Amino acid sequence: MTVTQDLSFLHLISNASLLVQLVMLLLAGVSVMSWTYIFRKRFTIKSAQAQTEEFERAFWSGGDLNTLYADATSNRRKNSTGALERIFEAGMSEFNKLRSSGDINSRIDGSRRAMRAAYQREMDALESHLAFLASVGSVSPYVGLFGTVWGIMNAFRGLANVQQATLAAVAPGIAEALIATAIGLFAAIPAVVAYNRYSHDIDRLSIRFESFVEEFSNILQRQAR
């Protein structure tokens, strides 16, 4: 068998030690899960951004708040509401429930609390699985390095049974070990890039949501008076 055949990718994986193979399998599974969350999160954030922009256009166009509230309630029944629309619905619903109260401040405070609670729920949903991506990005290289160290240790231990140590004798074992590091980096790099990008996008959405809560509270206060 030639050196090229001995150092082929599949051959190296199949001939690696059991522990190194388990490390590779673990990293491959983590990488698949990471890419699944990356694509799902991208779709979720893009959808949230589009729905937020659509609702902001409708809200700031000067339409009647009761009409917007009725549309939001109808969209919720159809499961087609966006995050900002649900925050608006929560605030408007609480404001209407406290209509019988004569205290304007109580109505405004109740509406703001309802919107803050809805805001926290929306942010929790948007931030789901980000911790997993962060963990993959930070831990995967070290897991791969562990497999590499173990493989190199086995390669050098094998030299004890060889009368003359040559590069050809140790190269396959080292190559097998380095594949674990390569798979670890393959899992970590996309996770880190996605985590940083999605965290930035979610932070921008968070600012828009918080600004809306304050602006809508001011609008309700003016209308109540």
Confidence grade of residue 206 (pLDDT, cut at 50, 70, 90) = very high
The three-state secondary structure class of 128 is coil
* Residue 210 located in a structural domain: yes
* Residue 41 located in a structural domain: yes
* Residue 73 located in a structural domain: no
At residue 4, the pLDDT reads: 45
Question: For the residues 134-163, what does the mean pLDDT come to?
Answer: 82
At residue 164, the pLDDT reads: 62
* Residue 111 located in a structural domain: no
How many C-beta atoms lie closer than 10 Å to residue 50's C-beta? 11
**Cβ atoms 114, 122 nearer than 8 A:** no
Report whether pLDDT(2) > 60: no
Question: For the residues 210-218, what does the mean pLDDT come to?
Answer: 93
* Residue 68 located in a structural domain: no
Question: For the residues 148-171, what does the mean pLDDT come to?
Answer: 70
* Residue 17 located in a structural domain: yes
Question: For the residues 101-118, what does the mean pLDDT come to?
Answer: 86
Residue numbers of the domain that contains 158? 3-60+128-224
* Residue 88 located in a structural domain: no
At residue 165, the pLDDT reads: 59
At residue 179, the pLDDT reads: 85
Report whether pLDDT(183) > 60: yes
Question: For the residues 25-42, what does the mean pLDDT come to?
Answer: 94
* Residue 100 located in a structural domain: no
**At which residue do the structure tokens 């109808």 appear?**
74
Exposure b/e, 148-169, CB count within 10 A at least 16 = b? bebbbebbeeeeeeeeeeeeee
Confidence grade of residue 102 (pLDDT, cut at 50, 70, 90) = low
Domain count, the chain: 1
